[in-house]
Amino acid sequence: MNNAKRLVGTLVLLAAFGGALFFALRSNEEHKQIAQEQAAIASAEPLKGLIAVDVEAFFKDERVAKVLGGAKLPVQVARVGSRDMAAKIGAADQPDFFIASGVVAANMIADAARKAGKTATQTSPFHTPLVVASWEPVAKILAANGMAKAQAPKVYSLDMEKLTQAMLAKQRWRDLKGSGDYAVSRSVLVSTTDIRRSNSAAMYLALTSAALNGDVVADRTAAQKYATQLAELFKRQGFQENYVNGAFDDYLAIGMGKTPLTFIYEAQMVAQAQKGGVRPEMVLMYPQPTIVNKWVLVALNERGKQLAELLSTNKTLQAVALEQGFRTGDTAAFAEAAKTAGLAVDVKLNQVIDPPGFDLMFEMIDIVSREMNQ
């Protein structure tokens, strides 16, 4: 009987030892595999990219870095103005990819690449409409004067033709019907960034010129005519920020007194709402029509194309983009993200136009820039 007990005890010990050995070996194998994966990631050559300021926070997110590293596509990015990117084609420090704000700048990069005999592919993983950030009292004044219409609580449509005509006529807020809550002497103007540096200001020029023209400007005579007319809307604003982040910061910090109407990306307001930083009197006004701004990844090699594919399809990367206010290919996910943040938005965007072709667009920008420099 004692021998039987000893045998059973021995078998139990052997089984325990064998189990421990098995788990130890498996643990060692797992650690070895993890170490190999980490070594492979560490040894992957970083992709060098030049990016617009609007996506800088995205690439700084730890989750993004982890996904890109795991795919052996770690990146080193530097912030550059979108319209300055094309000059880097053919330079000694030419990057592997660009992420430009807007199709105009992206097409400029692709055109420079073509002229240099290089292959460039374009992919747009994120986009957002251009909107006007405003305040409930201001929106109600515009609505009373036929320049805006309430679509839902905190969401207004904005008649760009009527508003542009009012601005060119130098109307003042105090002269508008129902201006009691904002009867100030300043002119009705939309605050923008500096058109000499910023894509969002260029899109404002595209929208206001379309408002005057009745459609997207498509010929040089119209482009020159309307750019000359609209230059004063930029000159009369006074100091302008170089980047749309600066203009939005003024809207948030200083308020209605300085920025009753501010031209921004919808993504900025959505991201602010995600952080709980939208006050009850803040509203979004959607120009009718508006322009959807695309962040375009221009890849100059195969790994750059792989990065573009990952940004467009990876669920984690898409979720981070939604958190930062961008729209992706999943409209329902964007609507849910905005709802969760407590921000009312126009999900459908039924009236959208494109900016003029980049040759015309840049001629219009040059005209306004010259006028501002006089």
Q: Which residues pair with 154 in a beta bridge?
A: none
pLDDT of residue 36: 46
pLDDT of residue 95: 95
Q: What 3-state class would DSSP assign to 343?
A: coil
Q: Helix H segments across 280-330?
A: 302-313, 315-323
Model pTM score:
0.86
Here the tokens at position 374 are 């006089």
pLDDT of residue 67: 98
pLDDT of residue 131: 98
Residue with tokens 């000893």: 6
246 contacts: CB under 8 Å, gap ≥ 6? 193
**Is-contact 163 132, C-beta < 8 A?**
no
* Domain 43-126+295-340: CATH superfamily, name plus number: Periplasmic binding protein-like II (3.40.190.10)
pLDDT of residue 9: 57
**Is-contact 133 264, C-beta < 8 A?**
yes
pLDDT in tens, the chain (374 residues): 555 556 555 555 555 555 555 555 556 665 655 444 444 445 589 999 999 999 999 999 999 999 999 999 999 999 998 989 999 998 888 999 999 999 989 999 999 999 999 999 999 999 999 999 999 999 999 999 999 999 999 999 999 999 999 999 999 999 999 999 899 999 999 999 999 888 899 999 999 999 999 999 999 999 999 999 999 999 999 888 877 788 898 899 988 988 999 999 999 999 999 998 899 999 999 999 999 999 999 999 999 999 999 999 999 999 999 999 999 989 999 999 999 999 999 998 999 999 998 889 999 999 999 998 87
Domains 43-126+295-340 and 129-293+344-373 share a fold: yes
pLDDT of residue 354: 94
Concatenated DSSP letters of 66-102: HHHHHTT--EEEEE--GGGGGGGTTSTT--SEEEEES
Q: Which residues pair with 126 in a beta bridge?
A: 295
pLDDT of residue 17: 59
d(CA 242, CA 237): 13
pLDDT of residue 40: 43
pLDDT of residue 225: 97
Kindly list the domain boundaries of the chain, sorted by start residue.
43-126+295-340, 129-293+344-373
d(CA 125, CA 317): 10
Task: Please give the CATH architecture assigned to the domain spanning 129-293+344-373.
Answer: 3-Layer(aba) Sandwich (3.40)
Beta-carbon-side half-sphere exposure of residue 87 (alpha carbons within 13 Å): 5
